[in-house]
Amino acid sequence: MKNLTLTIFLCLLFLAGFTGRAWSMDCLDACQSGLTACERDCPRSVYDSESGKTLQRTDAERLCQQACSSGHAACQRDCRF
């Protein structure tokens, strides 16, 4: 009985490791999709209400892309290998 329990335990560990690897690729794909969507939603221009003009290539775009990259890195750290 002890050997059977050990065998079942080892099989479960193997299966958990296998599904963990498969999940990691799904996780990494999800992280990449999130990054793409985040960057797509970053502003390309910002309306300046004081001047009444639309500003192109602002710090807002750069800061948004940096935030997307930080989120992507955090997401990847959460994926298990």
Q: Where do the H-state alpha helices sit in the chain?
A: 2-40, 59-78
Averaged over successive runs of 10 residues, the pLDDT of the chain (81 residues) comes to: 44 44 76 92 83 80 89 87 55
β-sheet bridge partners, residue 81: none
Task: Please report, for the chain, the start and end positions of each structural domain, with discontinuous segments joined by +.
Answer: 28-81
Collect contacts of 65-69 with beta carbons under 8 A, ≥24 apart.
65/39, 67/38, 68/35, 68/38, 68/39, 68/42, 69/35
* Threshold 0.85, pTM exceeds: no
What integer pLDDT is reported at residue 68 of this predicted model? 93
CB of 79 closer than 8 Å to CB of 21: no
